[in-house]
Amino acid sequence: MKLVLATSNKGKVREIKALCEDFEIIPYSELIDEFEIVEDGDDFKENALIKARAVFKALNDENVIVLADDSGISVDILDGKPGIYSARYAGAGATDKDNLHKLIDAIKEKNVKSSSAHYTAAIAIVTKESQYSVHGWMHVEVITKALGDKGFGYDPMFIPLGYDKTLGQLDDETKKRLSHRSKALNLAKIILQTL
| Catalytic residue selected from 70, 76, 105, 155 | 70
Q: If we measure between CA atoms, which residue out of 175, 102, 115 comes closest to residue 143?
A: 115
Query: Is 99 one of the binding residues for ligand ITT (CB under 6 A)?
Result: yes
How would you classify the pairing of strands 131-143 and 158-160? antiparallel
Query: Is 141 one of the binding residues for ligand ITT (CB under 6 A)?
Result: no
Exactly one of 58, 77, 96, 106 binds ligand ITT (CB under 6 A); that residue is 96
Query: Is 135 one of the binding residues for ligand ITT (CB under 6 A)?
Result: no
Q: Give the count of beta carbons closer than 10 Å to the beta carbon of residue 114.
A: 16
Query: Is 183 one of the binding residues for ligand ITT (CB under 6 A)?
Result: no
Cα separation, 4 vs 44, in Å, equals: 19
Give 133's strand partners.
124
Task: For 130, list phi and psi in degrees, rounded to 5.
Answer: -145, 160
- Taking the least distance from each CB to ligand ITT, the nearer of 100 and 192 is 100
Stretch that binds ligand ITT, among 23-31, 68-76, 103-111, 141-149 (CB under 6 A): 68-76
Cα separation, 95 vs 153, in Å, equals: 9
Angle ∠(157,158,163) on CA atoms, nearest 5: 125
Query: Is 152 one of the binding residues for ligand ITT (CB under 6 A)?
Result: yes
Q: How many CA atoms lie within 13 A of 179 on its CB side?
A: 28
164 as an active site residue: the answer is no
CB of 110 to ligand ITT, least distance (A): 21
Query: Is 87 one of the binding residues for ligand ITT (CB under 6 A)?
Result: yes
Q: If we measure between CA atoms, which residue out of 175, 190, 188, 152 comes closest to residue 66?
A: 188
Number of amino acids touching ligand ITT (CB under 6 A) = 22
- Taking the least distance from each CB to ligand ITT, the nearer of 27 and 111 is 27
Exactly one of 3, 45, 69, 103 binds ligand ITT (CB under 6 A); that residue is 69
**Which positions are annotated as active-site residues?**
70
Query: Residue numbers of the site for ligand ITT (CB under 6 A)?
Result: 7-9, 12, 39, 51, 69-72, 86-87, 96, 99, 119, 151-155, 179, 181
